[in-house]
Amino acid sequence: MKNIRLTKKIDYKQINSILDEAFGPGRLAKSVYRYREYRSLLDSFSYVYEVKKNILASISYCEISLNYLHKGLLLGPLVVKPEYKGKGFGVSLVEYSINKIKNSKLYDFIILIGELEYYQRFEFKKIKHKVKFIGPVNSEKILILQLNKKIKISNDHIVHFS
């Protein structure tokens, strides 16, 4: 897509401003940020939606593992400038980045904490198991997109993300 490009280091100031505007200062206490305390964003799968050098939306990922066995990505945050919400910029970023991740064949799954109503269009599903996650999280909002259909999550075990 012509308006989507990889995130550059010079974009972080503008992205942080959008994040502050959209989510407020409490965003830093969320679980996604707890993972980032020791997991860096992946430059290869973090994108912005830009129009005339103005960033309107951003999506980022960092690596995470499932049950210490399977390699995946934690999506987040996905953010759209509040005045541009509902115009499809976030949807475009999710579709574009998931397609790139699938084509890479490097990861078994993508996980996120979000609203099923929004993310089910991208084939994310709720995790139906007890989950061990860093930091406070509403277990009803933990969603997963399996990229490797061979992964089996046992009903008898707690799902660990680390």
pLDDT digits (tens, 9 = 90+) for 12-26: 999 999 988 988 877
Secondary structure (DSSP) of 73-95: EEEEEEEE-GGGTTSSHHHHHHH
pLDDT for the residue 97: 98
For residue 157, the model assigns a pLDDT of 46
Q: Considering the domain 4-160 in this protein, what is its CATH number?
A: 3.40.630.30
User: Per-residue pLDDT for 135 more than 80?
Assistant: no
Q: Has residue 38 got a pLDDT over 70? A: no
- Stretch 34-39: mean pLDDT, rounded? 67
Geometric angle at alpha carbon 161, from 101 and 68, rounded to 5°: 90
The answer for residues whose C-beta is within 8 angstroms of residue 52's C-beta and 6 or more apart is none
| Collapsed DSSP state (helix, strand, coil) of residue 157 | coil
What would the pLDDT profile of 48-85 be if each residue is shown by its tens digit?
999 999 999 999 999 988 877 789 999 988 999 999 99
Kindly state the percentage of the chain with pLDDT values over 90.
Answer: 55
- Tell me, what's the pLDDT at 17? 93
